[in-house]
Amino acid sequence: MKPTVVKIDNLVKRYGELVALDHFSLEIKEGEIFGLLGPNGSGKTTTINCLLSLLSYDKGEIEVFGREMTPTSYDIKREIGVIMQNVAVLDELSVWENIDYFCGLYIADKEKRKACVEEAIKFVGLEDFVNFRPKKLSGGLLRRLNIACGIAHKPKLIILDEPTVAVDPQSRNRILEGIQELNREGATVIYTSHYMEEVEQICTRIAIMDKGRKIAEGTKDELKGMIRNTESVSIEILELPDDIREKIAHLPHVYETDYDGAKLTVRCSGGRHNLIRILAVLQEAELGFGRVYSELPTLNDVFLEITGTALRDSME
């Protein structure tokens, strides 16, 4: 069994009357890419800040690499790389100098540091921009610099707090691929995001957060297995008599139907031939229909079924 890298136990953090973290617990094993998924204000960043000992908390315990995490745990901090939600670099230093400066907060040896900086620059693809000041870089390049500053010292635990916010798709893909590569090289990764597609794409295990609580945890398949919905069938149809809709609602495995005057959505739990059965009913009634979609459940469906609100809705 792989050793535990991060253990958060019963964490409570209050901002006055507001409970930001409500008895939050978590265990992350070595080699995982662990996703913290939740809408804005769900407590993801607060969890990270408590984990890094930046924030004080009211109750609970935090262990990293099997040792209690405190603000003066410099040996533990040496093994952690942090990539903040917003870019935090020095405007007056060049790309190379920035990476070297932050790497120097972890590695004293100049030669070793130089090798690390060069490797980090190559890793994020900033070879052509080493002498550029941050203000001369585009948003995507700036994000890459931010990542390079956080990983240059080769940490065993990398914490990325929404690193792809406001990043173009090309840079986003590069960042996600980079995270997977770092993980392949042996780093344990904690990845917070409100983009469920990203979390689904790269995370080996996911915890879904809402209002400071962990509402679900597991692999993406385990999470999807927690909910009733296994398939959503959507059919564009302009006319749907009530008796036909009733007939569809009583088909095997169908547990919910929804019709808005233009689109019929049928949610099924289990079963293999749901789509064929539904279309058969419509053909039998000689009803014309347009495009047909069959979708497997997403993490948004998991969030929707557990909280009653869609993940996207709760971010608005």
Partner 1 sequence: MFKHNLAYELKEVLRVKEFILWLMLFPIILGTLFKVAFGSIYSSELFDTIPVAVVKTTENEVADRMMEALTEGESPMLIATYTDEESAKQLLLDGKAEGILTIGESMELTVSRTGMIPTVLQEIVSRCKLYETVIRDAIATDPASVETVIAKLSAEVNACRDVSPAADNPDVYVQYFYNLIAMVAICGNMTGLHVSTNNQANQSLLGARKNCSATPKGIYLTTGLIGSCIAQSVSMVLCVTFLRFVLRVNFGGSLLLLYLVSILSGCLGVAFGFFIGSIGKMKHEGKSAIAITVSLALCFLSGLMMGNIKGILAVKAPWVNRINPVAIISDSFYCLNMYSDYRRFFTKIIAIVIYIAVFTVLGVLFTRRKKYASI
Residues lying near partner 1 in the complex (CB under 8 A) are found at 15, 49, 52-56, 71-72, 74-75, 77-78, 80, 82, 84, 86-90, 92-93, 97, 101-102, 104-106, 108, 149
Question: Least distance to partner 1 from the beta carbon of 184, Å?
Answer: 24
Q: How far apart are CA 236 and CA 263, in angstroms?
A: 4
- Token pair 């408590």 in the structure block, residue: 50
- Side-chain half-sphere exposure of 120, counting CA atoms within 13 A: 29
Q: Which CB sits closer to partner 1, 77 or 172?
A: 77
User: Closest separation between CB of residue 295 and partner 1, Å?
Assistant: 39
DSSP, collapsed to helix, strand or coil, labels residue 234 as strand
Query: In the bound complex, what is the minimum distance in angstroms from residue 280's beta carbon to partner 1?
Result: 58
CB of residue 73 to partner 1, shortest distance in Å = 9
Nearer to partner 1, 105 or 262 (CB): 105
CB of 316 to partner 1, least distance (A): 24
Q: How far is the CB of 102 from partner 1 (least distance, A)?
A: 7
Give the residue from 96, 165, 160 showing the smallest Cα distance to 131: 96
Q: Are 177 and 125 in contact (CB under 8 A)?
A: no
Measured CA distances, 140 to 39, 136, 171, 190, 276 (Å): 23, 12, 6, 21, 45
Q: Which is nearer to partner 1, 92 or 258 (CB)?
A: 92
Q: Which is nearer to partner 1, 54 or 249 (CB)?
A: 54
Taking the least distance from each CB to partner 1, the nearer of 87 and 275 is: 87
Return the number of the residue (116 or 149) whose C-beta is nearest partner 1.
Answer: 149
Phi, psi of 82 (to 5 degrees): -120, 130
3 state SS of 236: strand
How many whole angstroms separate alpha carbon 121 and alpha carbon 98?
Answer: 11
